[in-house]
Structures are given as C-alpha cells and as structure tokens.
Structure 1
Amino acid sequence: MIGAYGAYWGTAYAGYALIYTPGYYVHTWNLHNKDLIRPLYLILIYGCCYSAVLPLIKTAILLDWCRIFVPINRSRNVFWWGCVSVITLQCVWGVLCILLLNMQCRPHEAIWKFYLPSKCYSLPDVMLTSASVQVASDITMFFLPQRIIWRLQMNWQKKIGVSVIFGVGILASVAACFRLSHTVAFANTTDTMYLIGPLLFWACGEMTCGFFILSVPCLSKLIIESGLPRSVKQSLGFGSKPSEPSYEDSEQPHRSGQSDALRSHPMRPWLKGTDTIWSKIGDEDHDHDALRNSGKSESQTSLHRAEADGRN
C-alpha cells in the first residue's frame, strides 16, 4: 500500500509537469524537436510508475479480500486461487512492463533523446498489451467476490449492499476500458503528443479507483459510525420525530422532589388514581382552612384526631 502510494505520487509529478512542458492537447507538428525531450522523459516516468502502482494496489486489494472471505482453518477455495492467479499475473507483468519500458531503446538515453543514434522497438505494442492485461484483471476482480457474497446466510437486502460495496471495482474496469480505447488510437496515429493527454487522464483515473476500492469496506463502516445517514434522514424528514412530552412527564420532577410530602399527607379516597401535585395542594389548603375556621392550633387538632382514632 505504501509502495503503491509512493509510485502514485510519481505519476502525479509527471502528469502535472506535462502541463507546462509542453502542455496537453498540443499537436506534435506545432513543437520543435528540442521541445520533445522533456515530455518524452516525463512520459517514461509516468509509464514506469503506473506499471508499479497497479500491481501493488491490486495485490493489496486481493489480499484484503482473502482475509475477509477465506477461512483460515479451511482448504483453499476457488476464490483464493483466483486471487492468487490475478496477483501473480499483475506482479509478473508489472516487473516485465517496467523492464520493457526502460529497454525500448539502446542506449537508454535515446528513449527521450531521440536524436541519438539508437535501436528501438515499437512501444505501442507494449502499451496495448498492458491495457489488455489490466482490463482482464479488473473484470476478473469484479466477479471474484460476487459468488461468495450471494451464498452468505443473510437476507437479499444485505446481500445487495455488500455486493455494491465490493462491486465498486466496476469503476476501475470502466476506466481501464477507456484507457484501452485511447491506447488503440494512440498506437495508430502520428500525432502522439496530442493523444497522450486523454491516455494519461484515464490511467490516472484507473489508479485512483484502485485506492478507492481498497478503502471502501472501511469507509462504509466509518460513515455508519459517524451518524451521517441518521443526520441525512432527519434533514430530509424521514427520521422519527420526537413525541410531545406528556403532562405527567412534565410533572415528574415535581413529583419526585415532593414524594415525601405526598406520603405524609395521604390523598382523599375519591382522588386516588389522580396522582398530581394539585391534589396535595388541595389537601393542604383544606387543612389550613379547617384550622382557621375552628380556631385551634395544629397540635390540638392532631391530638383530637389521635383520641378519635383510639376510641374507634
């Protein structure tokens, strides 16, 4: 993963440098011979880094998938052997492609210093083979996990979700197909400097999709744990609305704070079942009014009540 990221920065450097020397979508016949030296050198750097990024990133993706889908204590299944085959193809072709790019001319400097006496072979043949290998690998990687996903013991909604997560590899397949079509056009034209632009753009898109595919399983978990789906649903009005607080819920703090007072002043029999603070207030008001009307103190009233209870 780290090696793939470092090589990716190499392609970024070469791609941005070509903006200034000589620029994209510039016809070859509008350039002087001296203006071609720097672009040819940058194209060589881009091609070597590209040939290193894809094997590394695809190997990382397939190893991660093997960790998820292949049980440790069981024999190797078809999925495991398919991943091993793609990894082997990518690594072997990646090393071979880098060697072919650097051995296309003798001496080596003649690759970008085209005016030197040299012996070179046709580079578009290597480019077409590379594009074909990447398209075949991307399509294979798209179908590899689908068979296992649809045999998992879960409902079809979850199967679709998991299938989509591991099916984003179709983006890399689309980018690889467009790159292949532009490679064919590049191989059949003499205006190579004009057509190198879209070819490098789609190659960059293919590499970027590889990093995105590698991070998608973790990205989905981060999105769920961040609460973003719930926030989006609430903003769109699909979330559950909080219910209005009931009258008794609003009175709960008051009841809990005055529970002792309610125990010392029992409610009247006809008010039982209506446990509200107003019954307590009504009892207290009634007791105070009775005391005032009788002209007795509270202690005398309590004494008379105790005597009456004793007689009963």
Structure 2
Amino acid sequence: MRQVNGTVNNMITKARMKNIALIVIGSLLYAISVNVFTVPNGLAEGGLTGFSLILFYLFRLPPSYTIFIINILILAIGYKFLDKRTLYYTLIANGIISVLLLLVTQWAFIPETTLLAPIGSGIFMGAGIGLIMLGHGTTAGSDIIAKLLHKYAGINVPTALLLIDVFIVVPSAFIIGAENAFLTLINLYIQSKVIDFILEGLNPRKSFFIISAKYVEIAEAIEQQLGRGITILDGKGYYTKEKKEILYIIISRREVLRIKRIVEAIDPNAFMTISHVQEVTGEGFTYLSEEVQAQRITEAEKEWQG
C-alpha cells in the first residue's frame, strides 16, 4: 500500500515539476518577446499585454507591473472559469512573467530589416504562450474575458478573442503609427501559427477516408507497406442504396503521398478525402501523461481496497 502511494506521489510530483519547468521557459520567451523585440521596435500586442503596452507608450508605466495587476484583477473576476489546477499554474505563470519582464531588460533587437522585428516577436511570444499552455497554465487576461463575453453576451470564444485583439490593436495604431500597427498584425499571425505548432507537436496527423470496391486490397497494401492500423466502417450510398465499406486511417503528414500512390495504383476511381487532424491520443500515437497514470493507479488502489 505504501509503495503504491509512494509511486502515485512521485508521478504527480514529476508532472508538477515538468509543468512548472515548461511555464518558466515559456515565461522567459514571453519576456524576451516583449522586452527584446516588441517594445524596442515600437510594436503592439493583442489582448491585455497589448493594453499594458499602450499604457507604457502613453504613460511609461512598466509592463511588468501593469500585466501583473490587470491579470490578478481579471483572475479575481473570472476565476470560476478555470479549474483549480489551471488557476494554480496561471498564478505561477503570471508571477514569473512579471519578474522576468523586470529582469530581461538589458537586450534589445532593432533590425535593419523591418520585418524581422514582428517575426522575432511572434516566434518568441507564440512559443512562450504555447509552452505555458503545455504546462497547463494560461496567460489569463483575454481568455477569461472571452469566456465572460461568451456567457453574458452570447459571443463564441474565438470571435471574442478576435474582437479583444481588434479592440486593442486598432486604437494602438494612433499611438504607434499605422506601419507599426500592420507589423503588429504580422506578429499576431505568426504567434497563432507558432502556438498551433507547439500544441500540435512536430508531426501533425492527417486522416483518410477511402471508399473503394477494392478496399481489401488497399487495406492489405497499406498495412504491409506502412504498418498502419486501419478501421473499416460500414456505409450506405444514399442514391444507390448500396452498402459500402469505408477505410479510415490516421497517418503522419509525410505518409500522405505514399497512401495516395497505393490507392491510385490499386483503384484509380477510389473516392478519397484527406483532412487535417488537430490532435490524436491513444494507443499507437501517444503515451499516457504521468498525471493520468497516477490517477489510474489511485483508482486501481481504491478498487483493490474495496
């Protein structure tokens, strides 16, 4: 019993240390983005970070203080929208970001090529936010406001986030100038792509739906050449009323061309659809996180006690 409890505690401790490490690294990248790329080049940001930068450009208020204070106020208002674990890591992230914004001030990157500033800012900020999210934290601010708008105004969260960014970036154009406002939009676009890249991983997946009378031959060829598991779904044509077998398969992006060539070689008339898969979990694609493993061990222990 003690050994099981010790194993569970060790796994949870390791998971927490991993999350905090991700948050620390992400917060450092966040601070570098603001202090090294964004502020020295007179750029803005979206969300509450952007609002803090507007206060800095107008009144020279340090972003480290305004970001911390504003986020604490937002958390106090909307804490119920975050689960206990996310709230805990969000508070840690907020504190670390504020401290690092004070410490990372001795460097500034002012490039001769104008586009390098928003590119650098977008890469570092996107990577920072992505790592903080991987560590089960958030940068608070806009996320909580978007959820409040969704609850009380009926605006969906992605639209609310976009409106918040527009509400911040458009007025900032009168402070930093139209050119820097357009560069800020480039920064925000790069951020979104880097965040997606961080959260999806280095190898995004694709899904195939294949409808063919020669589905058996196609499935055998895919299994033999790629070693991928395949699911056969039962379907029925609406017009013909004929039953059809549909092959469903999840593959890596680099295997797309090989699958297409296999299908075209066996049945040139086969119907195929290819879709992007946001995330894949389960046997053969991911391992259980340490926290999930710890939870399952705890559940197994309770069953054993019962």
More helix by share: 1
Give the TM-score, by structure 1 length. 0.25
Give the TM-score, by structure 2 length. 0.26
More strand by share: 2
Q: Which has the bigger relative contact order, CA under 8 A and spacing at least 6?
A: 2
